[in-house]
């Protein structure tokens, strides 16, 4: 198959400051590309995800997307959903509805809400179950945790599957130093989270110190971040990345679990990427009908063409 020049974007998701969120490569006008070519290009970009925008096949969809990690294809992922939508709109995409964009992906049709300068996707249906006790003990060991530090744990599946763990406090999350080799052998992606106290304490001081380092070379206004209610980390060694900077699908499933079980309110802000020098902010809202929306800012970083 001969190559052709296709519009290309690289965007930063879940941060209003470019280069402090989670990067995404987007190939627009990707019709005609083989799965092998998509996978090879995703390996070459070496980002956690690369997306390819195609003509939709389902009624009501504005575009179709295929999402690839360096190691394989995903049925759905959160930061690629928001980043692809942003790139498609910026390239002149016209949605069928004034206030919504409908994305077709392997997980089905995903509603994306436009409100002000922020995009938010409707969290897909969550399936959850209790983890295997024997495997949970191995994961505790790989993370350097003891059982007393874990308030609750669930297998969370909204396309991507994570073991979600709610820990006792935010500084436990921030101080984790996992054995990524052991996690890769266990073959399960891990999402850990803990709520911040309502008043400044050791966990908040730890976060501020880390973010001060991340922003030490930035102008003062760059440190004006929304104060989070929840700290999140995603360990994803089974897909070839030790830690993901900001993970929309994980935050979506965590929100559905934690709100439903009364651990978090219906509206909150999650921080992710702190330990990687990032400053991701994920805006969570459960509406009156119980639908969870996962939102954030997207910044354009690179625009051009790619020969594929």
Catalytic residues: 49
* Concatenated DSSP letters of the chain: ----EEEEEEEEES-SSTTSSEEEEEESS-TT--HHHHHHHHHHHTSS-EEEEE---STT-SEEEEEEETTEEES--HHHHHHHHHHHHHTT---SSSSEEEEEETTEEEEEEEETTEEEEEPPPPEEEPPPHHHHHHHHHHHT--GGGEEEEEEEESSSEEEEEEES-HHHHHT----HHHHHHHT-EEEEEEEPPSS--HHHHHHHHHHHHHTTTS-GGGG-PPPPSEEEEEE-GGGT-SEES--HHHHHHHHHHHHHTTSS-SEEEEEE-GGGT--EEEEEEE-TTS-EEEEE-EEEEEEEEEE-
């Amino acid at each position: 198959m001969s190559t052709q020049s296709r519009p290309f974007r690289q965007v930063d998701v879940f941060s209003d400051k470019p280069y402090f969120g989670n990067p995404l490569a987007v190939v627009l006008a990707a019709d005609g590309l083989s799965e092998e070519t998509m996978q090879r290009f995703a390996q070459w970009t070496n980002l956690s995800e690369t997306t390819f925008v195609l003509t939709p096949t389902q009624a009501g969809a504005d575009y179709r997307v295929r999402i690839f990690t360096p190691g394989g294809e995903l049925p759905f992922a959160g930061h690629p959903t928001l980043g692809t939508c942003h790139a498609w709109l910026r390239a002149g995409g016209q949605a069928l509805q004034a206030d919504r964009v409908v994305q077709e992906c392997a997980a089905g049709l995903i509603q994306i809400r436009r409100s002000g300068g922020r995009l938010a996707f409707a969290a897909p249906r969550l399936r959850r179950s209790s983890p295997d006790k024997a495997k949970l003990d191995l994961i505790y060991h790989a993370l350097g945790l003891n059982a007393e530090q874990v308030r609750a744990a669930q297998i969370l599946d909204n396309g991507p599957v994570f073991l979600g763990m709610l820990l006792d406090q935010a500084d436990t999350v921030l101080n984790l130093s996992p054995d990524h080799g052991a996690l890769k052998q266990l073959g399960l992606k891990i999402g850990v989270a803990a709520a911040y106290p309502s008043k400044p304490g050791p966990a908040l001081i730890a976060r501020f110190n880390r973010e001060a380092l991340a922003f030490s070379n930035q102008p003062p206004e760059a440190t004006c971040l929304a104060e989070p209610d929840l700290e999140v980390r995603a360990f994803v060694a089974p897909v070839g990345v030790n830690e993901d900077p900001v993970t929309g699908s994980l935050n979506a499933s965590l929100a559905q679990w934690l709100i439903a079980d009364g651990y978090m309110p219906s509206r909150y802000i999650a921080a992710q990427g702190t330990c990687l020098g990032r400053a991701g902010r994920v805006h969570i809202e459960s509406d009156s009908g119980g639908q969870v929306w996962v939102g954030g800012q997207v910044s354009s970083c690179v625009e051009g063409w790619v020969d594929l």
